[in-house]
């Protein structure tokens, strides 16, 4: 499956919320595997204390302040990895967490990476599951996602999509902000379709 053109750097060099919404329906591609992005979260600069960048530039957060379109991958709970894409012009923090995919290519490979998944909806319905399904690790931290092998492409067939905004999952700071975005009615979102309608 080929899909459309790679999203250019200008796509990411915008306000983080715009990018988080804009990524829904696009296709994350890594080698033979691909999936439609169905759930994202925006992590902003400024007063968003839930963001890793809120404490300023450190060895870990350096990439979030860098050039847009690069991957920020970090270890969570000592076991899982989460993929973000850096947004905003260089120098300004902001990134989008990719939280769930609808598998679109390389389904057998994805299944073999996700033995614990019982249903197709469980293959990449969460940030840790997504990186397992797509074989994304901390080795990808800082890579340029406007050039392969890890990229986001335009879909070949454009679907109508309605975006629902909800609070972000698993945070305590700024828990009231509506910075999680899902494709309404899509059953591949994390927590299943019920949590999509918070």
Partner DNA sequence: GGTAGGATGGGCT
Partner DNA sequence: GCCCATCCTACCC
Binding-site ranges for DNA (CB under 7 A)? 41, 43, 50-53, 55, 58-61, 72, 75-80, 82, 84, 95, 97, 114, 116-117, 122, 126-130, 132, 168-172, 190, 194
User: Which strand (E) or helix (H) includes residue 112?
Assistant: helix 107-113
Which of 69, 97, 90 lies closest to 9 in space, CA to CA?
Answer: 69
For the chain, first and last CA: distance in Å?
A: 34
We find the least distance from the C-beta atom of residue 49 to DNA, in angstroms, to be 9
| Nearer to DNA (CB atom), residue 3 or residue 164 | 164
| Nearer to DNA (CB atom), residue 140 or residue 168 | 168
| Nearer to DNA (CB atom), residue 137 or residue 156 | 137
Neighbours of 8 (CB within 10 A): 10
DSSP bridge partners of 163: 183
Which of 73, 88, 99 lies closest to 182 in space, CA to CA?
Answer: 99
We find the least distance from the C-beta atom of residue 5 to DNA, in angstroms, to be 26
Give Rg (Cα) of the chain: 15
We find the least distance from the C-beta atom of residue 14 to DNA, in angstroms, to be 17
We find the least distance from the C-beta atom of residue 98 to DNA, in angstroms, to be 9
| Nearer to DNA (CB atom), residue 7 or residue 123 | 123
């Amino acid at each position: 499956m080929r899909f459309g053109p790679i999203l250019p750097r200008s796509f990411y060099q915008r306000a983080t919320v715009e990018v988080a919404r804009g990524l829904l329906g696009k296709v994350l591609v890594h080698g033979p595997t691909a999936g439609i992005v169905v759930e994202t979260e925006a992590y902003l600069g400024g007063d968003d204390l839930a963001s890793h960048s809120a404490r300023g530039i450190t060895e870990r957060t350096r990439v979030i302040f860098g050039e847009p379109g690069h991957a920020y991958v970090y270890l969570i709970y000592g076991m899982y990895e989460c993929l973000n894409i850096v947004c905003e012009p260089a120098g300004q923090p902001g990134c989008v967490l990719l939280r769930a995919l609808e598998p679109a290519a390389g389904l057998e490979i994805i299944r073999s990476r996700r033995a614990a998944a019982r249903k197709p909806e469980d293959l990449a319905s969460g940030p840790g599951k997504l990186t397992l399904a797509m074989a994304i690790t901390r080795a990808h931290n800082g890579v340029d996602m406007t050039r392969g092998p890890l990229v986001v492409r335009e879909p070949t067939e454009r679907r109508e999509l309605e975006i629902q905004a909800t609070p972000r999952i698993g945070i305590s700071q700024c828990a009231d902000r509506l910075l999680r975005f899902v494709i309404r009615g899509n059953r591949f979102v994390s927590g299943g379709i019920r949590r999509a309608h918070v």
